[in-house]
Amino acid sequence: MSKSYEEAVSYILDIPKFAGKSGLKNVRAILDRLGSPDKAYRSVHVAGTNGKGSVSTMIARMLEEDGARVGLFTSPHLVDIRERITVNGELIDRETFTRLFNTLIAETEEGEHPSFFEFIFIMSEMYFREQRCDYVVYETGLGGRLDATNVITPVLSVITPIGMDHMQYLGDSIEKIAVEKAGIIKPGVPVVAAYDRMPYMGEGCRADAETGIIKPFETADMAHAVLKSVAYEKGSPFYDTKSLIGVIRNFGDTSIRFSVMQDDYGRIGHGNVQPEAIPDNLTLNSTSVYQVCNAVTAIRAYKVLHDCLGTPVSDDSIRQGTERFRMPARFDLVGERVIIDGAHNAAAAEMLVKSVRNYAEHRGIDEIVLLIAMSGDKDYESVVRVLCEGIKPVRVYVTRYGSMRSLDTEVLSETVREYISDLCVVDDSAVARTEAESYIKDDKLLVITGSLYLAGESYAEMK
């Protein structure tokens, strides 16, 4: 019996209660029975620890500006499960979602049931074929090598910065995690690897070092070496962003004006920098410094994709693609005094700290308040340390989001107390947000972070 949209969504959300990961062979078998929808269009595959959702979205926007019909598969969703499956920025409609669900349910009656993520991924494949997409950009869910999305053979693989996250699944070192991410690299398929560098703050902008040079994270070289080695073994052309750096020209109230420069020697600001063959003075509709890093990776990927396919690169597509970029809950401004960000590991927290400090300085804000909740399987101690030492909040609200995965507030607050005494523990996140908003009034900045789940709840309530 066919299910309604509400029943379909409820069923999918309940899958973790009765089905775990079924594996790539099972996903491939189901897709083949459905006529191999993944072979109906060109795919771009994006993995990484941080920034992969933003990079995926930016690439999609640039390709759309080329005039292409572009599917985008991302995770997690913040409010509506359909956020995971879009074409040219439009969510899959409810009627189609329900129809594809019922088709897939019938197809999975025999054999092992797909997991939650596998199920949604297969539905997306079906939808993108129906929509006659020219390209589809796929963001991995977890890792890369064993991720459901790794059944595809893309025309380009992209790997964003790699950090310490999901260690219980991917390994306890940068090198081990990099091996898992490198699992998306296919023989002969070109790969673009991001090199973790903070942008240079140009004249009139604040720099985070006395020289104006912002060095990459120590982990960048370790991850980079692994990715390059795997690409070589598989005969995959390897491109990176190591010689590129974003140069911020101006901070606006809701945007950043930036350029991408060639910096072969790490001597930005010392006369050895040349403009990359990219249109100058690009606009990014975000005030986050870290999104400039993601833009550098996305632009590099867009150019490599066209170069490898022998199709023309459009400066207008790059310019309009970055300008159209929007990413909810990634340094998302609510008015001028609240920032929602889903940072949930130490590397992402470091990026957030730099963006918050620049935003606060640009607006003359001296006092920052932190509202935080985290998942129990995250390295919460490192995230709290980075946030508290970097932002130096005058008060911290500790809460939890509406899921069993949320870390107990007592545990989280014990760690926070090591850094700050003005601490409020409020188990209900909605109440915590109300109290925090009342406290900041007109002279403080509120940063809501620690989990995309908390960010999603906050986004739904406040946007």
How far apart (Å, rounded) are the C-alpha atoms in residues 203 and 206? 8
pLDDT at 214 over 70: no
pLDDT for the residue numbered 202: 58
Quick one: pLDDT at residue 276? 54
pLDDT at 107 over 70: yes
Mean pLDDT (the chain, rounded): 89
Please give the pLDDT value at position 218.
59
428, pLDDT greater than 70: yes
Short-list 171, 94, 97, 126, CA closest to 30? 126
Pairing status of strand 135-139 against strand 200-201: unpaired
pLDDT digits (tens, 9 = 90+) for 379-405: 999 999 999 999 999 999 999 998 888
Check residue 277 and give its pLDDT: 60
CA distance 44 to 73: 10
Q: Is the pLDDT of residue 206 over 60?
A: no
* Crossing angle of helices 289-309 and 346-362, rounded to 10°: 120
Pick the more confident residue, 40 or 163.
40
pLDDT at 131: 98
Q: Does the pLDDT value for residue 463 go beyond 70? A: no
At 313, is the pLDDT very low, low, confident or very high (cuts 50, 70, 90)? very high
Written as six digits, the tokens of 304 are 């490599």
Q: Provide the pLDDT confidence category of residue 281 given band limits of 50, 70 and 90.
A: confident
The confidence band for 422, taking pLDDT boundaries of 50, 70 and 90, is: very high
- The residue ranking higher by pLDDT, 214 or 276, is 276
**Model pLDDT, residue 12:** 96
Residue 298 phi, psi dihedral angles, 5° rounding: -65, -40
* 340, 310 contact by CB (below 8 A): no
| CA-wise closest residue to 163 among 173, 155, 153 | 173
Residue 198 clears pLDDT 90, i.e. is over it: no
The answer on pLDDT for 355 being more than 80 is yes
* HSE-CB for 187 with a 13 A CA cutoff: 0
What pLDDT, on the 0 to 100 scale, is given for residue 454? 95
Query: What is the mean pLDDT of the segment spanning 139-152?
Result: 94
Q: How far is CA 88 from CA 65, 313, 329, 405, in A?
A: 10, 19, 20, 33
Give the residue, 359 or 221, on which the prediction is more confident.
359
Q: What average pLDDT score do residues 48-73 get?
A: 96
Lowest mean pLDDT among 42-56, 188-202, 322-336: 188-202
Q: Are 75 and 83 in contact (CB under 8 A)?
A: no
27: left (phi over 0), alpha (psi -120 to 50) or beta: alpha
CA neighbours closer than 13 Å in the CB half-sphere of residue 14: 6
Most confident option among 9-23, 117-131, 262-276: 117-131
Please tell me the least confidently modeled range out of 135-139, 171-175, 289-293, 391-395: 171-175
- ∠ CA 352-355-360 to the nearest 5 degrees? 120
> Once rounded to an integer, what is the mean pLDDT over residues 156-162?
95
pLDDT at position 195 is 87
* Stretch 414-421: mean pLDDT: 96
The CATH superfamily holding the domain 332-462 is Mur ligase, C-terminal domain (3.90.190.20)
Half-sphere exposure of 132 (CA within 13 A, CB side): 0
Is 0.75 topped by the overall pTM? yes
Residues 6+ apart with CB under 8 A from 294: 51, 54, 55, 58, 160
Scanning the structure block, which residue is given the tokens 């869910």? Answer: 141
Average pLDDT over residues 241-246: 88
